[in-house]
């Protein structure tokens, strides 16, 4: 299973453009999004974010790239995974290997976002920030895979992922979400905002982030498995 996951990861990284996008896009988002997020936070009643805006930019950069990654990983591998399952590899084995490969790529994206964040600003709690960015990446990887299961057309699917991303961004932490709306990134955003401004992270946010990541894995695994079983098993 580990060998298959490694092979799937190599398959995605074989194209230099893919590797460049996974490394460069989240870092670019961090460098460009801080001031914009701060201005939107003020406009939406979230107040002054300061260093927290740059930290949130790192999370959103990882989320955006991983949402697209999850969608296109599922969309592009559907036929190959079905053939592997029919050849005796097993849909569960395929699903686990694809999920592990996706998480490995999401980790790469999260590390790029974190590196860009730490180069741009001093992070009071870097390990907390790393965990929060990883949570953003994992949640959106699962979200992209789930959308790909439902929507086959790549243009429509990409637009749905982008719509959820934008809705989540502007109703999330720091953006005037006083009512604590249950957005996909709520707990990860709270942790990242606290890490950016040097505040302690509440235990409830850590628990919420762990539960959110667990839910993401629970959603993503059967999505990849269903994709491998379609019209075959």
Q: Which pTM value belongs to this model?
A: 0.82
Q: Higher-confidence residue: 155 or 230?
A: 155
Q: How far is CA 45 from the centre of its chain?
A: 26
DSSP assignment letter at 124 = S
Range of the domain at 153: 2-229
- Percent of the chain predicted with pLDDT > 90: 15
Does the pLDDT at position 23 exceed 50?
A: yes
Give the pLDDT confidence score for residue 161 in this predicted structure: 92
DSSP 32-95: HHHHHHHHHHHHTT----THHHHHHHHHHHHHHHHHHHHHHHHHHHHHHHHHHIIIII-HHHHH
Does the pLDDT at position 117 exceed 80?
A: yes
What value does the mean pLDDT of the chain take?
78
Does the pLDDT at position 233 exceed 50?
A: no
Write out pLDDT tens, residues 123-156: 878 888 899 999 999 999 999 988 988 888 888 9
Q: Higher-confidence residue: 64 or 5?
A: 64
Write out pLDDT tens, residues 28-83: 877 776 556 655 555 444 444 555 667 788 888 899 999 998 898 888 777 777 77
Q: How many domains does the chain have?
A: 1
Give the pLDDT confidence score for residue 159 in this predicted structure: 92
Answer yes or no: are the C-beta atoms of 71 and 147 closer than 8 Å: yes
Write out pLDDT tens, residues 204-224: 889 988 998 898 888 887 777
Section 16-30 average pLDDT? 79
Answer yes or no: are the C-beta atoms of 49 and 193 closer than 8 Å: yes
Give the pLDDT confidence score for residue 135 in this predicted structure: 92
Angle at 133 between CA 33 and CA 16, to 5 degrees: 75
| Cα separation, 82 vs 90, whole angstroms | 9
Give the pLDDT confidence score for residue 150 in this predicted structure: 85
Q: Higher-confidence residue: 233 or 84?
A: 84
């Amino acid at each position: 299973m580990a060998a298959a996951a490694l092979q799937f990861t190599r398959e995605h990284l074989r194209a230099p453009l893919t590797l460049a996008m996974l490394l460069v896009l989240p870092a670019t988002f961090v460098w460009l999004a801080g001031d914009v997020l701060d201005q939107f936070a003020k406009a939406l009643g979230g107040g002054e974010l300061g260093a927290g805006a740059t930290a949130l930019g790192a999370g959103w950069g990882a989320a955006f790239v991983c949402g697209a990654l999850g969608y296109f990983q599922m969309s592009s591998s559907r036929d190959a995974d079905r053939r592997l399952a029919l050849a005796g590899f097993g849909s569960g084995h395929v699903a686990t290997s694809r999920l592990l490969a996706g998480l490995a790529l999401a980790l790469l994206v999260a590390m790029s976002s974190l590196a860009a964040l730490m180069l741009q600003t001093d992070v009071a709690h870097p390990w907390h920030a790393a965990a929060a960015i990883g949570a953003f990446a994992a949640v959106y990887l699962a979200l992209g895979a789930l959308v790909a299961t439902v929507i086959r057309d790549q243009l429509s699917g990409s637009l749905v992922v982008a719509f959820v991303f934008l809705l989540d961004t502007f109703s999330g932490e720091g953006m005037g979400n006083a009512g604590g709306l249950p957005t996909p990134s709520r707990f990860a955003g709270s942790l990242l905002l606290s890490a950016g401004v040097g505040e302690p992270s509440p235990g409830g946010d850590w628990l919420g982030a762990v539960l959110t990541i667990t839910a993401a894995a629970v959603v993503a695994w059967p999505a990849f498995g269903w994709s491998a079983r379609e019209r075959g098993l």
